[in-house]
Structure 1
Amino acid sequence: MPTALQMARGDPALEDAVRRSRRLLTRRALVAGAASVVPVPGLDWAVDAAMLSRLVPAINAEFGLTPEQIEALPPRKREQVQKALALVGSVVVGKLVTRDLILRMATALGKRLTVQQVAKYVPLAGQAVSALMGYTALRYLGEEQIKDCVRVARQAHLKLPAPSRPGR
């Protein structure tokens, strides 16, 4: 399966949006991984949910796919984006991120997260495994989100917004 960057190949604006999104994703995934080390029940789930609730809208914004950005498009372009969203089938691209959406994303990784909960109580090695799993879980969800955004942007021939903050 191609990576988001491979999917964006040939479109410099799309490639830049993928790179910016990945930088943001890496920072958030590192925080999630660090929270996974702390042996407090449920803390890592709360951190993951908080990270996802901020990460998903930030990635959507990089591609011009927040509900506000879509609403501001001309009617014809907005219709193209809605069709592309239906075709891609993402539950979070172009949508207001709610607690239910975050829970749906998290349950997609339920087994992995359960193992992560158990692993953190094994001294040192378990905490390292837990941190790696926390990082990997958020990284996976974020990368899939980026891929969905690339698919929608390509399908709808969407002109991406200028980066919100240079060097972010």
Structure 2
Amino acid sequence: MIETREELDAIKKSCQSMVTKSAGLSAGTAIIPVPGLDIGSDVAILMRIIPKINSKFGLTPEQIESLDTENKLFVMTAISNTGSKMAGRYITKNLILTLLGKMGVKVAAKGTSKFVPFIGSAVAGGISFTAMKYMGNSHIDDCYHVALAALEKRQLEHMADVESVIEADEPPHV
């Protein structure tokens, strides 16, 4: 469980680094002029990194299920409020394909640009890098906001507990 804002920020930075490396891999695959190879590669990359990001933020289905009922409800509500399609969910090929389909213009542009010699492959790589980085970093931002809300809730509850202990220890006023 994430205990401090600093720890949460470090997780965000680590995940952003992972996304940048994966976006580079996606770009490298997009440069290869084989139709369909890049989409298959993007799906595989996302199916690998999205669960890792969820896990680092404590937002896998199993991690959420292990929470007590009140915290589970809070986290699921926070996920819903962010509009995240991937936090707290099992990541399937169909889910990834649906999300990639919503980025259809970029994906289509990447595919057709491959047919322009030399420059087309570079354009496809650039589009692939940008699209992968955008999807990954958007997911990180969603997870960060959910984890931050949960952290702040726990900190407020802790402060309320401390205050009630302090009040119980105070001598009665005369």
TM-score, normalised via structure 2 length: 0.82
How far apart, CA to CA, are the structure 2 residues paired with 1:92 and 1:116? 24
How many aligned residue pairs are there?
150
Which one of the candidate residues 49, 61, 84 is aligned to 2:55?
A: 61
**What's the offset of the Cα at 1:100?**
2.0
Per the TM alignment, residue 68 of structure 1 is displaced from its structure 2 partner at its CA by 1.0
Alignment partner, residue 142 of structure 1 = 136
Counterpart among 62, 85, 104 of residue 110 in structure 1: 104
1:94 is paired with a residue of what secondary structure? coil
Moved over 6 A (4+): none
Q: Deviations over 1:31-88 (max 9, x none)?
A: 1000001111100000000011111111111100011111122222112111111211
Q: Aligned-pair RMSD on alpha carbons?
A: 1.5
Rounded to whole Å, the distance in 2 between the matches of 1:43 and 1:56 is: 20
Q: Report the Cα distance in structure 1 between the residues aligned to 2:111 and 2:73, rounded to whole angstroms.
A: 43
- Equivalent position of 1:4 in the other structure: none
What TM-score results when the alignment is normalised by the length of structure 1?
A: 0.84
Aligned: 1:156 with 2:142 = no
- Partner residue in 2 for 1:91: 85
Which residue matches 2:76? 82
Which runs of no fewer than 5 residues in structure 2 stay unpaired?
155-174
Greater helix proportion: 2
Name structure 1 gaps, 5 residues minimum.
1-9, 160-168
Distance 1:89 1:20 in 2: 23
Match of 1:69, as an amino acid? Q
| Contact 2:30 2:124 (C-alpha < 8 Å) held by counterparts | yes
Look at both structures and tell me which one has the larger radius of gyration over its CA atoms. Answer: 2
The answer as to whether partners of 2:110 and 2:123 remain within 8 angstroms in 1 is: yes
